[in-house]
Amino acid sequence: MSNTITELIFIPLPVIGHMRSTIELTNLLINRNHHLSITVLIIQPISGLQTASPIATYIHSLTNTAHIRFIILPQHKPLPKRHPKSPMTFVNDYITTHFKHVRNIVTEITSQQNSGKLSAFVIDMLCTSMIDVANEFNVPTYVFYTSSAAYLGYQLYIQRLVDDLNHDVERVVELANSDCEINVPVFVHPVPTKVFPSGYDTKEGLDYVMLITRKLRSAKAVIVNTFLELEQHAIVSLSSDSTVPSVYPVGPILNPITNSVITNSVDSVNSGDDDVIRWLDNQPNSSVVFLCFGSLGKFDEVQLKEIATALERSSYRFLWSINDQEAVLPEGFVERTRGRGKVIGWALQMAVLGHGAVGGFVTHCGWNSVLESLWFGVPVATWPIYAEQQMNAFEIVVELELGVEIKLDYRKDLVDVKKSVGVVSCEEIENGIRRLMEDDEMRRKMKEMSMVSRVTVGDGGSSYDFVGRLVQDFVRNVS
């Protein structure tokens, strides 16, 4: 392997889940080749770095190493507040306002005498507009896709469908709002339109998705946080399509507990977590249902009551993470379930899922959470909320048969948070929890996939090999 320093520019999305996966990818690459030099250009969150938000805290925790350095881009002047009407367009516009900063910093890096040869840009799946800047430096772009290979294939399929309809976005929006099923090459089973991701059911949302997807097609390759054995059908389908960039499934890329930030807002080891682990230590093996819905998974008082009622009726032990200081639980619930249940704030999800007492996971189906449950072999009950989580839930339950459904098509409007989205009944929740905890065959399959997920990242595993090929590709770019 060449001793020439190969320079890479990483640009993650300033969102905690995307950011942490990106940083873990940089560590993975450096561990495979010490002749790589990586510069991570950090776009500040719109709220800035002076807040106590999880992403701001995480960014402040990052420190340079011999092979990885972090450069925080200047805070751009706020854009007009369009996001109440067009949040997706707002995000894209915010990314593009940083072109000048990225251009200047990369020019400075490449002009230094001790600089390596610039090989590529590696950008987040929602930052594909940055491909224009990479093209100015005549280097290829690799897209880091933090969702599933199945969703990647679905996104590309819809974009091709829109183009085949002469860019008639309205017809696809009508399809998204209908009640039918469509055949998508990356899925074995027909996909119901009710699990279409958020944003595909409006013209403005779909216009944005088409914009970033057409850009994605111009990338040299897509690095996907998944593994071949999990999504073989989707990966083979993508790899056999000559119109799709090369696909590198390099996962599961997880956020190790040891690298967590010490804060209540981000996964961390603190006194509260110690108390949770001690409580779990006193529970029987595989007896606890863990409920956690991500940083945006907040419910109103009516829905909280339905969840509480289901937990009380089910008689199962539970650990319920509620990331909402204003949450109101039914009177007497905590006292009545004391001993077999525990309600907590934010939890260190990896530590909880890795504890032997946890036997089931009620999740919003964010892709990182899916991979973590797979890693530890914990079966899931699906309750998607936003983004592509409905499609993740469909894949888990129908395609992979590694989980049970509480809901596949539940979704919340993250712009109008007061907008009614319906209520999942306590009967539906209780039924899902019982099936989750009592399905021995699903539990066996999940344990098998857990072992596979660990083998695939080890020497000789499929993801290990794909990382090696990816590194070789980076090096060849400058040879």
pLDDT value of position 336: 94
Query: Are residue 236 and residue 353 in the same domain, yes or no?
Result: no
Query: Are residue 284 and residue 216 in the same domain, yes or no?
Result: no
Is residue 260, in this structure, part of any structural domain at all? no
pLDDT value of position 296: 77
Is residue 79, in this structure, part of any structural domain at all? yes
Say which of 18, 98, 355, 364 is annotated catalytic.
18
Query: Are residue 295 and residue 243 in the same domain, yes or no?
Result: no
* Percentage of the chain modeled with pLDDT above 70: 90
18 noted as active-site residue: yes
Query: Are residue 155 and residue 276 in the same domain, yes or no?
Result: no
Query: Are residue 52 and residue 73 in the same domain, yes or no?
Result: yes
Q: Which CATH number characterizes residue 421's domain?
A: 3.40.50.2000
Structural domain tally of the chain? Answer: 2
3-state DSSP assignment of residue 178: coil
Is residue 345, in this structure, part of any structural domain at all? yes
Is residue 399, in this structure, part of any structural domain at all? yes
DSSP H helical ranges for 137-255: 149-164, 169-176, 203-217, 232-239
CA dihedral 383, 385, 387, 391 (to 10 degrees): 30
Is residue 315, in this structure, part of any structural domain at all? yes
Query: Are residue 17 and residue 154 in the same domain, yes or no?
Result: yes
Is residue 286, in this structure, part of any structural domain at all? yes
Query: Are residue 181 and residue 276 in the same domain, yes or no?
Result: no
| Average pLDDT of span 252-263 | 59
Query: Are residue 462 and residue 426 in the same domain, yes or no?
Result: no
429 vs 323: which has the higher pLDDT: 429
Q: What is the pLDDT of residues 34-66, one digit of tens each?
A: 999 999 999 998 766 666 577 888 888 899 999
Count of H helices and E strands in the chain? 18, 15
Q: What is the pLDDT of residues 115-137, one digit of tens each?
A: 889 999 999 999 999 999 999 99
Can you give the C-alpha Rg of the chain in angstroms?
22
CA distance 190 to 183: 5
CA nearest to 289, candidates 256, 323, 313, 273: 313
Task: Look at residue 270 and tell me whether its pLDDT is greater than 70.
Answer: no
Q: Would residue 301 be called left, alpha or beta, if left means φ above 0 and alpha means ψ between -120 and 50 degrees?
A: alpha
Say which of 124, 201, 267, 273 is annotated catalytic.
124
DSSP H helical ranges for 112-197: 131-136, 149-164, 169-176
Mean per-residue pLDDT over the chain, rounded:
90
Confidence of residue 31 (pLDDT cuts 50, 70, 90): very high
Confidence of residue 322 (pLDDT cuts 50, 70, 90): very high
pLDDT value of position 455: 98
124 noted as active-site residue: yes
* Percentage of the chain modeled with pLDDT above 90: 76
pLDDT value of position 325: 64
479 vs 474: which has the higher pLDDT: 474
Is residue 82, in this structure, part of any structural domain at all? yes
Residue span of the structural domain in which 12 resides: 6-251+457-476
Lowest mean pLDDT among 3-7, 190-194, 452-456: 3-7
Lowest mean pLDDT among 24-38, 168-182, 223-237, 312-326: 312-326
Is residue 302, in this structure, part of any structural domain at all? yes
Query: Are residue 372 and residue 430 in the same domain, yes or no?
Result: yes
pLDDT value of position 77: 66
Query: Are residue 186 and residue 296 in the same domain, yes or no?
Result: no
Query: Are residue 96 and residue 199 in the same domain, yes or no?
Result: yes
pLDDT value of position 261: 34
Residue at 431: amino acid letter: N
Q: What is the pLDDT of residues 392-444, one digit of tens each?
A: 999 999 999 999 999 999 988 765 544 557 899 999 999 999 999 999 999 99
Query: Are residue 332 and residue 212 in the same domain, yes or no?
Result: no
Question: What is the value of pTM for the model shown?
Answer: 0.93
DSSP H helical ranges for 54-148: 54-61, 87-96, 99-111, 131-136
